[in-house]
Structure 1
Amino acid sequence: MGCGSCSSGGCSTSGSAVSGCGSNGTCGTGGCNKMNVFDWLSHMDVPTSQRFDVVEVKFKGGRKEYFRNINQLEFITGDYVVCEMASGQHLGTVSLQGELVRLQMKRKNVVISDDLHVIYRVANEKDLDKHTQAMAREMPTLYRTREIIREMKLNMKLSDVEFQSDNTKTTFYYSSEERVDFRELIKSLASEFKVRIEMRQISLRQEASRLGGLGSCGRELCCSTWLTDFKNISTSAARYQNLSLNPAKLSGQCGRLKCCLNYELETYIDALRDIPTVEAPLKTKKGVATLQKTDIFKKIMWFGFEKDTNWYPVAIDKVLEIVELNKNNIIPESLEILTPQVERSLEKGSPKLNSDLENLDRKYSEEQKKKKKKKSKPKNRNNNNNPNNNKPQPTTPSAQ
């Protein structure tokens, strides 16, 4: 479900119909939702003289820039327009216009000035043909450039190539963990492709947002659909949420920690304020109980004894009582005495502990019983399915 303005390549401006895109590639129906913004002020009629004359235009990879509409042209979201660039002109799609553009520029700290580039016109068939030809050069150029990088033994990863619509400039997007001297590379590329070369380094998160993909949750990547601000993510975010520190599970498509680790972090930090810090194991007459895990939102802490495989849930207030008793050199009987109290409190409002696990065990045990019953059914040796068995047997006449 892509379009010509994104890197998914699901459809192009050549007019090939794509599932989910009713306007054959222009994504006027929302077939490509990469970094889309819903214009909730579109129904408001504003006089032409009072309209905000800056328009947001989207290019390949979800990149958005702002251009002035000095000619007061009428646009519809999804229209292809020819925009002014530092060198030449480029073709993009109108993604947002009106007062929401003013708010977006304020959020991104973009200064409204006369230095902003302008929109020349709405793209015609000739502009679209040139843009299609420029896009057709991108993949062969990408493969050839990777071969040149491999020959020069440069430590960089080339992820995407974008040709300007007038074929005068090419932007190469690459990622690298160290500084790369690509002066010889630029000379080689300029002599081979006969265009102006621009090398733009991007981070691994930006690379994943340009390429897109599906996350472990089964949905499209957040960075390629709606997330624009990449914040620092540390392993402490996983510790606060009691997640296992497994790099394979905590890493995203970019190889860095998942951005979604920060989504619920503040909620967990607020809930952890009521959770006591158990610095030492709890001492009971049955033995020493060690903290195994904490259910943050149910406010229950699970403890286990050394030679016992069972874990015992204890409410937070009871844990505080035992800690105070241990400080006064008083040892309670056991944690098992406190377990029924927790279960009674859970029966009143919340579901039982591990109810979801019990339901799964019950489900699979019932399925196994059904399978055993099917296997234990005796096979009919008389082969009742044989149609000849249903015929009446001939009888011999009795002697009179």
Structure 2
Amino acid sequence: MTEIIGVRFKNAGKTYYFSPKGEKITSADKVIVETARGVECGDVVISNRQVEDDKIIAPLKPVIRIATEKDLAQLEANRQKEREAFKICQEKITKHKLEMNLVDVEYTFDGNKILFYFTADGRIDFRELVKDLAGVFRTRIELRQIGVRDESKMLGGLGVCGRPFCCNTFLGDFQPVSIKMAKEQSLSLNPTKISGTCGRLMCCLKYEQDAYESLLKITPKNGALVQTDEGAGTVVDVNLLTGVLKVSLHSRPDAAPKVCKRNEVKIIKDSSIRVDKAELKELSNLEKE
């Protein structure tokens, strides 16, 4: 077992493990640590805890110190510099007539590097822009092209549900989301209904999928042949969450479907959920990162 603390550098970013070096650190603290990008200040989200050795990548980097008042002042000064750098970079992009959209600017804690995040439809030759920015800021410059999902995560906003974006509030990493998930959750394959503000499939399809998969194992699907107390029939409608089925009885094909619960029928031959190839091709852009 190894003692760790968990540190996060963005509101809904990934949590990284560091060694507390025997010091008691709480989740209310900020700490100064060394990362691959340089010295950074992060929020402690997991206080001192023992974890199994196979859950960490050894050796763990130690915490340099708990953030002091001076460190917090430096952090605030960096935030102000980022706002100024954003304006300057925006002006330079316009000057060089580059078709790119600046999303965010980030200073490393020690000021040794400035990262500019942008989106663009294709590859951008920004070599002259980097030279221009380096001449202004006199430090290392990195321009990083990001996808539309990363853009939404950085900027935040409200989803179609009326709540703040999941990616901006609690989802640390993006998970693959597929059209098949939407189909299995009985959603309309209308792009405006299943995509988020970023134009990609809604992240919530993924973390709700486990519940739907469990229900699909015990619920007959559309087209399934089932036995009811009034005879055999074919399932013509399914509500997975409530477990209510509509069954067209073979003995009364012209009558209204019989309404029953999933535990009131016996599956003779189940059906399967398939996504039409034409639909899949049409909606494939929604699955892109």
State which of 286, 294, 311 in structure 1 corresponds to 2:237.
294
Question: Structure 1 residue 94 and structure 2 residue 39: aligned?
Answer: no
Deviation at 1:256, TM superposition (A): 0.5
Matched ranges for 1:90-169 at <5 A: 90-99=40-49, 102=51, 106=55, 110-113=56-59, 116-169=60-113
Matched ranges for 1:47-62 at <5 A: 52-62=2-12
How much is the aligned-residue C-alpha RMSD, in angstroms? 3.2
Letter in 2 for 1:59: F
Aligned to 2:19: 68
SS in 2 for 1:98: strand
TM-score (norm 1): 0.53
Assess if the C-alpha contact under 8 Å between 2:114 and 2:142 holds in 1: yes
Aligned to 2:267: none
State which of 35, 56, 79 in structure 1 corresponds to 2:29.
79
- Offset from partner CA, 1:148-204 (integer Å, 9 cap, x none): 223323343321111122222212222334333322222111111222112333332
Question: Structure 1 residue 223 and structure 2 residue 167: aligned?
Answer: yes
- Going from structure 1 to structure 2, the CA distance change for 1:216 and 1:87 (only over 3 Å counts) comes to closer
Distance 2:53 2:87 in 1: 36
Letter in 1 for 2:138: K
SS in 2 for 1:62: coil
- Going from structure 1 to structure 2, the CA distance change for 1:84 and 1:229 (only over 3 Å counts) comes to closer
Assess if the C-alpha contact under 8 Å between 1:62 and 1:210 holds in 2: no
State which of 171, 186, 194 in structure 1 corresponds to 2:130.
186
Distance 1:104 1:199 in 2: 36
Question: Structure 1 residue 242 and structure 2 residue 186: aligned?
Answer: yes
Distance 1:205 1:145 in 2: 22
State which of 335, 342, 345 in structure 1 corresponds to 2:258.
342
Distance 2:221 2:18 in 1: 51
Assess if the C-alpha contact under 8 Å between 1:61 and 1:211 holds in 2: no
Assess if the C-alpha contact under 8 Å between 1:275 and 1:299 holds in 2: no
- Going from structure 1 to structure 2, the CA distance change for 1:241 and 1:76 (only over 3 Å counts) comes to closer
Higher-Rg structure is 1
Distance 1:158 1:220 in 2: 22
Structure showing the higher strand proportion among its residues: 2
Assess if the C-alpha contact under 8 Å between 2:37 and 2:108 holds in 1: no
- Offset from partner CA, 1:28-83 (integer Å, 9 cap, x none): xxxxxxxxxxxxxxxxxxxxxx8x4432222234334333333x322121212222
Distance 2:121 2:217 in 1: 36
Distance 1:136 1:249 in 2: 39
Assess if the C-alpha contact under 8 Å between 2:31 and 2:66 holds in 1: yes
Distance 1:235 1:62 in 2: 25
SS in 2 for 1:165: coil
Distance 2:237 2:53 in 1: 42
Higher RCO (CA < 8 A, seq sep 6+): 2
Aligned to 1:232: 176
- Going from structure 1 to structure 2, the CA distance change for 1:105 and 1:174 (only over 3 Å counts) comes to farther
Deviation at 1:259, TM superposition (A): 1.6
| Identity across the alignment (%) | 35
Assess if the C-alpha contact under 8 Å between 1:87 and 1:168 holds in 2: no
SS in 2 for 1:146: helix
Letter in 2 for 1:67: F
Number of aligned residues: 246
- Going from structure 1 to structure 2, the CA distance change for 1:145 and 1:215 (only over 3 Å counts) comes to same
Distance 1:141 1:105 in 2: 41
Distance 1:159 1:252 in 2: 18
Letter in 2 for 1:206: D
SS in 2 for 1:57: strand
Aligned to 1:373: none
- Going from structure 1 to structure 2, the CA distance change for 1:272 and 1:178 (only over 3 Å counts) comes to farther
